Amino acid sequence: MSQVFQHDVLIIGSGAAGLSLALQLADHCSVAVLSKGTLDDGSTRWAQGGIAAVLDNEDSIESHVQDTLIAGADLCDEEAVRFTVENSKKSIDWLIKQGVPFTPNDEHNSDQPYHLTREGGHSHRRIIHAADATGLAVSNTLIDQAIHKDGLEIFTNRMAVDLITRRKLDTHGHGCVGAYALNGESEHVDVFKARFVILATGGASKVYLYTSNPDGSSGDGIAMAWRSGCRVANMEFNQFHPTCLYHPQAKSFLITEALRGEGAHLLLPNGKRFMHRFDERKELAPRDVVARAIDHEMKRLGSDCVYLDISHKPADFIKSHFPTVYERCLEYGIDITKDPIPVVPAAHYTCGGVIVDTKGQTDMPNLYAIGETSFTGLHGANRMASNSLLECLVYAESAAQDILSKLDTVPEPPYVPDWDESQVTDSDEDVVIAHNWDELRRFMWDYVGIVRTNKRLQRAKHRIDMLNKEISEYYSNYKISGDLIELRNLSVVADLIIRSALMRKESRGLHYTLDYPNLSAEPRNTLLTPDQW
């Protein structure tokens, strides 16, 4: 049997963005958090490097702002960048108050209590971290706080299917009033009604064959917002992390950028360094530059990977600063205190997303998007390292304040009918979903990857148009499943990425095309508006 739930606030997603927001609201109103699987299934726990923030006396807000603007290839929104950076220390202080165990500073003559590291694109050491497992520390802390928080109800194994809007219900007004969600245990679709709905579902890097992201990164929030009438922006800017472990048994294991921040060298198979030929910053160049350089060398040499070497540093230093990487590599027979690490680029972060303001508010009243789901303007054409968790925290706080200011003005949601399954049947053709899933991710990797051409993009557009028709027909005739929901969302996101890439007639940041290798004179965002507008 389907169930109906009602809360003041519905948060879809249980990562850093969603749980931070939930914890700041639960003392003031009833809050529901939907987690796609278990509470710790999202991308947050996989973030190794840390969180960028202005914490040191030798650093400055202006320096962090300028570094971000440069990394974003002149496409960042300076207001959003400044807003985020100015609130960085406040967000870190809040995390410390929650109990996140950041690594202490081992320099006794310093007044800085926490160790700060440096990563690509940063001009100062400003990355606060918990060894090389910052995301795990943040995730575990927030989960522990959330499960003991009064006023906060957590629903695991609930996959959002679509948003419920007043327009879809054909009621007076315009706005979001809840969401339908598949209960993975009962296999029924439940109704979640709320006065405010927040999309905190993460990014869409699972649209690519090779990714550093967990399986759930299927662009659910972006696709749902788009289907409901919200604009999206800059979907062509997909960040490929330069260094993921290359090993047949290592699934999606990221080698943190902090290794390069602490002096690791990128090497060709013959042991020679190569980054100096691509950028004067060498291994500390922004991620788009490093990923393209690696991609170029692998294609030039026909090599399966390149290598990342930190073995010239003391073994004790490596083990203490990078225990997670050390232990994981050792499982595959790689001792990073002695041997270089085989690495390849992999899809890592969605820089575009649902358009929001500095409060996380989308085009639709009472619908918010925070974290990787959103487009705030912070990242521009290339996200700078360790600005992602910072964005989650800053916009969670600003969204919380905006929602609290409106609590008494937004009415209760109207009647919402149950999900209608009367016209569909059980599928005996699930192989179609698996085949389409594989095909989509392969042609996105081949045609819409690190280096693009018009011809490749047109091929991708032709394939996604055909796939979308197949998936739409399948969705209309058969009972939904988790795999079908994700495939449907990935196909929407893939189409948005391809359309955006075709519209950009230049190479900028993460979008590099052989047909337009130069920058255009006028930086501009790529804005897409749903047809119903």
- Cα–Cα dist 38/50, whole Å: 23
- Cα–Cα dist 89/87, whole Å: 6
Q: Yes or no: say if 106 and 361 are a contact pair by the CB < 8 Å rule.
A: no
Q: Which domains does the chain have, with CATH numbers?
A: 4-235+351-406 (3.50.50.60), 238-347 (3.90.700.10), 431-528 (1.20.58.100)
| CA-closest candidate to residue 283, choices 448, 118, 157, 159 | 118
| CA-closest candidate to residue 378, choices 65, 19, 128 | 65
**Where is 149: in which H helix or E strand?**
none
Place of tokens 């912070």: 378
Q: Yes or no: say if 305 and 342 are a contact pair by the CB < 8 Å rule.
A: yes
Active-site residue, selected from the candidate residues 158, 166, 287, 456: 287
Q: Yes or no: say if 199 and 354 are a contact pair by the CB < 8 Å rule.
A: yes
- Relative to beta strand 31-34, strand 152-155 is parallel
- Cα–Cα dist 391/358, whole Å: 11
- Counting as low any pLDDT under 50, the low residues of the chain are 532-533
> Facing residues of 12 across strands?
34, 199
Q: Yes or no: say if 21 and 208 are a contact pair by the CB < 8 Å rule.
A: no
| CA-closest candidate to residue 80, choices 395, 529, 479 | 395
Handedness of CA 311, 314, 318, 321 (dihedral sign): negative
Indicate whether this model's pTM tops 0.85: yes
| CA-closest candidate to residue 360, choices 423, 328, 405 | 405
- Both tokens assigned to 479: 């009972």
Alpha helices (runs of H) in 59-124, residue ranges in sequence order: 61-71, 78-86, 88-98
Q: Give me the DSSP letters along 317-385.
A: HHHHH-HHHHHHHHHTT--TTTSPEEEEEEEEEE--EEE--TT-B-SSTTEEE-GGGEE-SSSTTSPPT
- Relative to beta strand 265-267, strand 158-165 is unpaired
DSSP state of 120: T
Q: What is the pLDDT of residues 194-237, one digit of tens each?
A: 999 999 999 999 999 888 888 889 999 999 999 999 999 999 99
Q: What is the pLDDT of residues 295-321, one digit of tens each?
A: 999 989 999 899 999 999 999 999 999
For the question of residue 287 being annotated catalytic, the response is yes
Backbone φ/ψ region at 426: left (φ over 0), alpha (ψ -120 to 50), beta: beta
In 246-305, beta strands by DSSP E: 265-267
Q: Yes or no: say if 368 and 411 are a contact pair by the CB < 8 Å rule.
A: no
Give me the pLDDT at residue 279, please: 95
Give me the pLDDT at residue 360, please: 98
Torsions phi, psi of 11, nearest 5?
-110, 120
